[in-house]
Structure 1
């Protein structure tokens, strides 16, 4: 997907995977389109335009995380989801908020590297074939004399015949010996500094001193070809170009999803030590959201144009309990509504990768067909709402636990029922989970 998608097109794509929550979809669609608009603005005005960060407010299991994740996929943008509660303020032992940006850059490096690998794949395959043929066909001693070209022609013909067999898979089971890089486990160490605690890979700190050792390994030709293709592709990559592109993409297209923001608020009328620490995390997050420069192992990263999407249930706390400076950095507020029976029914059938389609695909691998009747879908949705009301409301996540329970026996017996077609109707659903859902105590522990 491209940044050039219009807001309507973005919402249309999100509708394929997420049911309802039109206000949230509209907000993120505008935010993504504004990124494309900013790229069309000439400098120096372009540098002055900052993203309008979004605060999503709603109970768990209503689609907050999924909206942000799908948005990142549409934009092919570096995306990272973090829980705000995992961080501590500077001076305390724990994770430093700047690791958010470091992890975002790591994600960007991975995305860009994969794109570059695709570009060099064809060349890497050809080089891998040549290397493998060199192993399969030892080089003859160069002949001397007036007829020296004839053996060379014969050797070339033999090589092409072998290449043809290699491509047809006729040599796949033959054993060869190739050099592979030995995988040494590098120790991890904790570094304590004024900026918090960081886990560092000793191998990365010491560069190539601990790696790069080769060892011979015997394997069949099919596996050897894959290993050599990966080695050749890695050699063709220009890591400096990848780093530069990844940094640019992280700075201009990066999306950070900050979950559980309500858990780091200082609720009105309270002022315990724990609350002070929570406010400290907010103050540490503030420079990232406002725009600052973070030092990473790939270089300095500016956060000025990274889009931050925060979310929280805000049952006990309110968005106004956030420190005023942070409140002002999330100008777009979106309320996501709780899901009811009709939304659950739609979630089970409408998305392209709906849960019912996922289970049908899994069981199809055992040659077992399952069909969800309309009354079966409605009964699952009804029970999900009922259990959510009686116990903890976990939103659409309740559908996962219900479907696992409904299909438990079928999943267990599927390997013995090849060729069967099974209909999941209301009677079947009630037989499997009706008694459990009616018992509040059992529901708490099983559903």
Structure 2
């Protein structure tokens, strides 16, 4: 055998050894990790069995009166072989996504971010400004809340004065940047992030994702490292969809009951979560995650919340000189910023749930100027992406001001916020991206407002020799 092959073989053996040392052993039958099941018995074929499963197997053998027939069945693969008393034996190897990283005994979990490395609120906001246009108030609130939260985590302040978690509730119309803000924040801090959708969550025992699945997703994002996961961020989108249903006669398994089930997660407690799956079952290992230092950010568009706010604000409208006009707030774009906890309760959120989300703020709807800025200013702006794509074909791409305004106007008509921008540009760039590679003589393409409004074509300039 050559020296290179020997070295490669040694590298594989070393990596497998490191892999085994890094992750916990899991019982091949009940799928409990060693930290839960106790010392595991090592068997041939990379198989591990806990003492409970081994004892149950022996009990089953002893309870069978016809021992000879049982042995014949065990030795015959066509009749199920070993599976008759150890179900799941055909799939001994635990998938990597279900392996749990070992936790060091008697060693305190180190914070993901040291106190000296936590960026100040103005630094966090400055970074968010590079990627997210507008929403200054929301970015300011998030910067302070995140700064305070990770100071709490880094110092583990649990003495006489206990600092509470800064869980957040963000309210804003679709496409205003809720998810993008959270993604940018997690990227900036380099912490594990899980994004879950509240619409898929249901009460335990019903079809859908268990409430603990949101923590399971964070564990997966942290590469099954429990210590890292316990200091990550969970963003639960569409939180308004679990509001208490009004005038319903059927059991509400995805509304108020989900809010009730999430209370212990938000406040902080030990949760049994499935590893590598969204629901608990016999073939999935479970581990314990403490949510005390996990930052929860909930977001939603809360449709019709503006009607609840208007109803409250118009309560004083009556006969007299100080009466308000009924239509006073109909065209108020910033009506959501006047929201109160009372409005959210009337919308269908239970008081206990709102009490565990102390930081509540709103995002502004996007106007024409903000949409134009979103097109060209952020670090990864849509226009910059297309310019880079065409630059690879050695072609310059330009958008004049009239084109940007026309795109922004079309996006406003769709009423889906910044999400509309990409779909509009994709539509108009399709023919250009298709035709440009055909002709090597094209040097520059200028997109005009007339082309966006379908009154003309793009300006194409040929290369100069």
| TM-score, normalized by the shorter chain, greater than 0.5 | yes
CA distance in 2, matches of 1:87, 1:433: 49
Highest RCO, 1 vs 2 (Cα 8 Å, sep ≥ 6): 1
In 2, are the aligned partners of 1:38 and 1:46 still within 8 Å (CA)? no
Is 1:324 aligned to residue 351 of structure 2?
yes
Alignment partner of 1:55 is 2:169: yes
CA, structure 1 residues 94+276, in 2 after alignment: closer, same or farther (shift >3 Å)?
Answer: closer
Structure 2 counterparts to residues 351-370 of structure 1, below 5 A: 351-370=378-397
2:257 to 269, 280, 297: 280
In 1: Cα distance, 2:157 partner to 2:130 partner: 37
Query: Which aligned pairs between 1:260-271 and structure 2 lie closer than 5 A?
Result: 260-267=238-245, 269-271=246-248
CA distance in 1 between counterparts of 2:427 and 2:378 reads 21
Moved more, 356-365 or 296-305: 296-305
**Closer, same or farther: CA 40–311 of 1 in aligned 2, 3 Å:** closer
- Equivalent residue runs for 1:76-91 within 5 Å: 76-91=190-205
Q: Cα–Cα, structure 1 residues 324 and 351, in superposed 2: closer, same or farther, change >3 Å?
A: same
- Equivalent position of 2:444 in the other structure: 421
Q: TM-score, normalised by structure 1?
A: 0.61
Query: Is the contact between residue 211 and residue 262 of structure 2 (CA under 8 Å) also seen in structure 1?
Result: yes
Q: List structure 1 segments (4+ residues) > 3 angstroms apart after TM superposition.
A: 39-44, 274-277, 296-299
Query: CA offsets, 1:16-40, max 9 Å, x none?
Result: 1101111211121112211342245
Change (3 A) 1:92 1:42: closer
Determine whether 1:6 maps to 2:125.
Answer: no
For residues 132 and 158 of structure 2, what CA distance do their matches in structure 1 show? 38
Deviation string 1:384-414 (CA, Å, 9 cap, x unpaired) is 22x22xxxx2111110111011211101112
Q: 1:315 to 1:274 in 2, by over 3 A?
A: farther
Aligned to 2:418, which of 367, 383, 396? 396
Q: Confirm or deny that 1:71 pairs with 2:96.
A: no
Distance 1:365 1:42, change over 3 A: closer
Is 2:228 aligned against 1:249? Answer: yes
Q: Distance in 2 between matches of 1:97 and 1:82?
A: 10
Matching of residues 26-37 of structure 1 within 5 Å? 26-37=140-151
Following the alignment from structure 1 to structure 2, what is the Cα–Cα distance between the partners of residues 378 and 304? 47
Structure 2: how far apart are the matches of 1:341 and 1:8? Answer: 27
Shift of 1:43: 5.0
1:39-438 matches, within 5 Å, as 39=153, 41=155, 44-45=158-159, 48-109=162-223, 246-252=225-231, 254-267=232-245, 269-273=246-250, 275=252, 277-296=254-273, 297=285, 299-317=287-305, 319-320=344-345, 321-385=348-412, 387-388=413-414, 393-418=415-440, 419-431=442-454
2:138 is equivalent to residue 24 of structure 1 = yes
- Provide the residue aligned with 1:231 in structure 2: none
Higher helix share: 1
Alignment partners' CA distance in 2, 1:17 and 1:397: 15
Query: Contact between 1:78 and 1:249, CA under 8 Å: does it hold in 2?
Result: yes
Rounded to whole Å, the distance in 2 between the matches of 1:274 and 1:342 is: 46
309-318 or 63-72: which moved more? Answer: 309-318
* Paired residue total: 292
Contact 1:376 1:429 survives alignment (8 Å): yes
Question: Where does structure 1 lack aligned partners over 5 or more consecutive residues?
Answer: 110-242, 435-447
Residue 176 of structure 2 contacts residue 418 of structure 2 at CA under 8 Å; is this kept in 1?
yes
